[in-house]
Amino acid sequence: MAYGGVEGGGTKFVCAVGTGPDDLSATTTIETSDPGTTLERVAVFFAGKDIEALGIATFGPLDLDPASPGYGRVTASTKPGWEGVDVAGSLAASVGVATAIETDVNGAAIGEGRWGAGTGLDTFLYVTVGTGIGGGGLVNGVPMHGLNHPEMGHMRIPRHPEDPYPGGCSYHGDCLEGLAAGTHIAERWGRPAENLGEHFEPARELEAYYLGTAMANLTVVISPRRIVLGGGVMGMPGLLEATRSRMLESLAGYDFGGDASDYLVAPGLGARSGVLGAIAMATDLG
């Protein structure tokens, strides 16, 4: 018995078949382009594969209200062409199995909770820092929802007093995502995070300032037992450690009840958190 998982991101879709981290019989990566082409290529990957159900963890925002006529659709996305796309319905019809859908970050949290850095914890957060910034998590083992799903990347945080960059978020300008996402690192420094050259140290210091401040805010508002920090930008050498330090500086001696080195951690599943979370969602349907 096998299950399908799809992790949908702004630059790529990752698809897999299996039952968990030690059992992935097939995987593929598909470039994110227009919705029709992207979802058709996902369906082609699963064609002929004997899966019981399909889990989808994708970028949004998403309508996740099961009672809503728009359930499973992308809502007010800044990704050109994706607003209103029925991701869940399209893949359910083309793949021909029951589907479950969540945000990419809630999906990653489900994966980390099942097999990774959140195992055994009732409440924790997963924050991804990549092309954009998003956050989700589990509270008492259940993905975080409310009027909408969490949009932690749009948190407003104090600007660094020496940062002239105005911010790049199309909604807020200098929210967390507008200041610290990979896209805006490249805009600020004129080169991507993996190729900063002589700008590396000041870029890392600034990134840690914004991320550490945000992690302190999440700590005092939600009080999770752990925060998992994933995404491509977190591959910057020394950034996780610098973010821990900035978080503690921002907390200013407030005792949050944990040890920073065990509290702010890298994903236990590495880059596979999202697609494995999607498979976990599918197994729960099966």
Each residue's pLDDT tens digit, 33-67: 999 999 999 999 999 999 999 999 999 899 999 99
Q: Residue 176: which CATH number?
A: 3.30.420.40
180 in the same domain as 241: yes
225 in the same domain as 188: yes
Q: Do 174 and 226 share a domain, yes or no?
A: yes
- Regarding whether 202 and 123 lie in a shared domain, the answer is yes
pLDDT of residue 193: 87
**Is 113 within a domain?**
no
CB of 82 within 8 A of CB of 35?
Answer: yes
Res 286 pLDDT > 80: no
Query: How high does pLDDT run on average in the chain?
Result: 95
pLDDT value of position 76:
84
Residue 112 lies inside a defined structural domain of this protein: no
Instruction: State how beta strands 98-103 and 123-129 pair.
Output: unpaired
Residue 1 has pLDDT above 90, yes or no: no
pLDDT 10s digits, 180-218: 999 999 999 999 888 999 999 999 999 999 999 999 999
pLDDT, position 79: 82
Are 76 and 125 contained in the same domain? no
Q: How high is the pLDDT of residue 85?
A: 97
- 28 lies in the same domain as 84: yes
Q: Which pLDDT does position 152 carry in this prediction?
A: 96
Confidence of residue 26 (pLDDT cuts 50, 70, 90): very high
Residues 159 and 204 both lie in one domain: yes
pLDDT at 158 over 80: yes
Higher pLDDT, 171 or 17: 17
> Residues 99-108: pLDDT tens digits?
999 999 999 9
The reply to whether 178 and 99 lie within a common domain is: no
Q: Does the pLDDT of residue 117 top 80, yes or no?
A: yes
Mean predicted confidence (pLDDT) in 61-76: 93
Please check whether residue 231 lies inside any domain of the structure: yes
pLDDT tens per residue across span 233-256: 999 999 999 999 999 999 999 999
Same domain, 241 and 141: yes
Q: Which domain holds residue 168?
A: 118-266
Using the predicted structure, report yes or no on whether residue 78 has a pLDDT greater than 80: no
Structure tokens at 92: 């359910």
Average pLDDT over residues 79-95: 95
Q: So what's the pLDDT on residue 148? A: 82
pLDDT band of 223, cuts 50, 70, 90: very high
In a shared domain, residues 90 and 199: no
